[in-house]
């Protein structure tokens, strides 16, 4: 008898997250969570970043405005995974449905 481990990540209501050590790899429209001491302090969409990745501007979820984070602030950034829409050849950014993309 073969026993397969369940794919827990596929059942999770939350999209997978990956820690981003080099903020220069972030792109505008990346969905991220900002954590300090293991607690989420902000979440939203990257608006801008410094070319060297030392600073990011985040448009927070829920209309909470725009906020600046410095890499030296002692925060950790986690990128939310994008979900592929089956059969369309497109990806969906969680939390951005129905919103127009900025040029």
Rounded to whole angstroms, how far apart are CA atoms 100 and 103?
Answer: 9
H/E element, 8? helix 8-11
Q: Each residue of 13-57: pLDDT tens digit? A: 456 689 999 999 999 989 999 999 999 999 999 999 999 999 999
Asked whether the beta carbons of 69 and 58 are under 8 A apart, the reply is yes
Find out whether 18 and 36 touch, Cβ atoms under 8 Å: no
Encode pLDDT of 82-91 as tens digits: 655 555 555 5
Rounded Cα gap, residues 93 and 29, in angstroms: 8
Whether 101 has a pLDDT exceeding 70, the answer reads no
């Amino acid at each position: 008898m073969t026993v397969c481990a369940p794919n827990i990540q596929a059942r999770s209501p939350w999209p997978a997250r990956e820690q981003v050590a080099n903020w220069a790899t972030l792109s505008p429209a990346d969905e991220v969570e900002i954590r300090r001491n293991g607690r989420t302090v902000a979440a939203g969409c990257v608006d801008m970043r410094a070319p060297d990745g030392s600073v990011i501007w985040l448009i927070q979820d829920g209309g909470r405005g725009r906020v600046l984070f410095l890499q030296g602030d002692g925060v950790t950034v986690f990128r939310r995974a994008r979900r592929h829409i089956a059969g369309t050849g497109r990806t969906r950014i969680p939390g951005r449905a129905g919103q127009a993309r900025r040029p």
